[in-house]
Structure 1
Amino acid sequence: MSSARFVKVNALLTLVENPEGTQLVIKNLSYQIAADGNTIIRSDNPENVIIIYCNDDKLFNDLKWSMNLNKKIVKMKTVDEFRHCGNDYFALNNYKAAIDEYTCGIKLEPNNVTLFSNRAEAHLRLVQFLYALNDAEIILRYEPNHLKAAYHKGKVLCGLKRYQEAINTLRVLYQRLNFNTNHNITSIENTEQLLKHVELLASENEKGQYDFESIIDEYCETAKIKKDSKGNDVWINNVGPRLDHADYLIDDIEISNIKGKGRGWITKCDIPENTLLIVSKAVYSHEIFGHTIGNISNELTACVGSSSCIEELMISVIQKLLAEPHLLQEVYQLHDGSDLDKTSKINNKQLDSDKIGRAVKYNSFAIDSNVIIKNTDLSGLGLWILPSYFNHSCIDINVTIFFLGDL
């Protein structure tokens, strides 16, 4: 093996003048999902990557490289085949693969509203609201009376916290369903239920009035478990005890530059004790959808704050921002460890993984170490925007944080 040259992975492309056609031997490789959702080949040891040089006869003289491969005739799928494949993936909860199939079908038939509708639903399942909204609006341009697309649009606008727009959309839909007797009672009931829920969210968001007793009852109901076909404990609610309630921000506080402390919350007036200031949902939390820290022991939340936990949270946040780029501007406003007085311009539409990683490092929250959660590997580690601006580590400490997780 003396004639083989071992190179570091990060220098590989620099050393190879013409990467196309370069032959490599990679030992002990693994397949992993990258931050952009694509599958990559990974090798953790640089010495496991070998460049095969064409004149290296001593090492590889017994190998014969064939350049004349038999071409296989690949049959192109039809629109219906793409739709069926997408539906199969959807049934398996593989929404990303379903979206790929629907997209291929749309390329063949750009005005196929069924494919757009199915893709919108898949985007909704992945919480990719802007993509789902785009598909719903395309359908409504082709078919203004497409009721399922209107329902999707109402759900998407709610997810984007555009509550009044969602209410207007759903009210029109509800009137249409009641006027047209051909529609089944289930569609009417589902629309009415969603409309009432969005109206509740709008009230919470505007007035900060939450029915906490009802929320506790809701949590207890959604936190119930059952046995699956293999005897494992699973949530009765497929996403676990997730509570869908609105954000809220009181008008009496605002974010401002604080000398020596960066940007933080300040009050505009005296605020009575026990006043609700903020209700904020996470940009991403490892509790969301039951996501957990992979392959890391979490005995009594021991891993919280470790580099492995933070790194995995960074990857998850980046994946979230790739799917929902409209959130980039909010994340970029967070402190990232750079000079407080630095005013360099940031492209709010371009994903900067380094900046996002630093923002996660300095602004992530985790469950308090005094809170012991048994029989779970959920750490509660996550990133919240508005709570990050509370200067709880000021020179004159006047705030104590006690963090229970994301509801």
Structure 2
Amino acid sequence: MGLSRGARTGSYVDLSKEATRPGQTGILDNGDAASDGTFKSKIICTLGPVSRTVEILEEMLRAGMSVARFNFSHGSHEYHQETLDNLRAACANTGIHCGVLLDTKGPEIRTGMLACGGPVMLEAGKEIVLTTDYEFKGSAEKLAVSYPDLAKDVKPGSKILCADGSVTFTVLECDVAKGEVRCRLENSAKLGERKNMNLPGVNVNLPTITEKDRHDLIEWGVKNNVDFIAASFVRKGSDVEYIRSVLGDFANKVSIISKVENMEGLDNYDDIVEKSDGVMVARGDLGMEIRMEQIFLAQKRMIKRCNLAGKPVVTATQMLESMTGAPRPTRAEATDVANAILDGTDAVMLSGETAAGNYAIDAVKCMASICREAEAYVDNVASYHQILEQQPIPMGVEESLASSAVRTAQK
């Protein structure tokens, strides 16, 4: 199953349609919404504890799930295998096809264990030492970090974010010989064990894929003939080429979706798009690497460049986050999903909403409704011509044939 929305190759919003029935202003005219309730956008759903039984999966398929995401940051091979077996049973029972996506854990930086065994209270203004001795049991005064080159790669004034951005450190001094970094805490927070850490603006010296990733890809992904691999923290085009080499012959059968999650990935974005089968705009970690007010611009430009290259693009993270605990999304979330569709995204993704939320099926239904409504205002003909104008001349044989097919379909 592909992620592409077909002939749609860009974003051109037609808001000129006006309702003509008495009493209508045209503001809520439903454009060209499909009368049969169908829509072209793909919905990727993360499977987890609340969404792995055959019965629930059947409901999610009927609600609009197009691709099932298996998040290998959590769970064993046996756990994921049971979920996949249930998914395939649900597909057989409903007659609805669903793609399978393996999302790698990827290289990451984490804090270490704590001497007290539980969370420690960090106080704003206090100093704290980060050590690269990962065996050290930490405290509120000193924490272990899994990245060996930390003291070499940061410098005084650098910011370090921890626990999804809930803790900010400012670097004061680096001792490369000891492998220690002295920092000031910018805010108060409780910090538990093994929390994720981001180094904004730093090109980290981490492997493309870890040994765990390699094991997951070969021993689970290849054996189960997955449709997609979402490769975490892709930083350059050569990362994608390396992953293909690890997959061997299977690389010709699977689509590699590169997750761009840091500044290095943004700097090498065009190269990544060229080497990948698709791209995921992973707004979670990316939102800690760039300023919050820049996320919208990164999203729009990343989607646009994929549209121009004819590569599928996925928009992910916190799309309907509030529906993990509420039956309806916030107005901002509903608008966020719709704007991603209008930007030109081919697929939208649900994470905790379907993996661990209280309203997994409702989240899929809600996502489908928003996608359907937003698509009514996308002018595919104008979008096609907009993209065509930006293609090199003369076009290649394959592009020319595809372009002719689209023109014929539009007539």
TM-score interval (norm. to shorter): under 0.3
Q: Where is the helix percentage greater, Structure 1 or Structure 2?
A: 1
TM-score by length of structure 1 reads 0.22
TM-score by length of structure 2 reads 0.21
Higher alpha-carbon Rg: 1
Q: Where is the strand percentage greater, Structure 1 or Structure 2?
A: 2
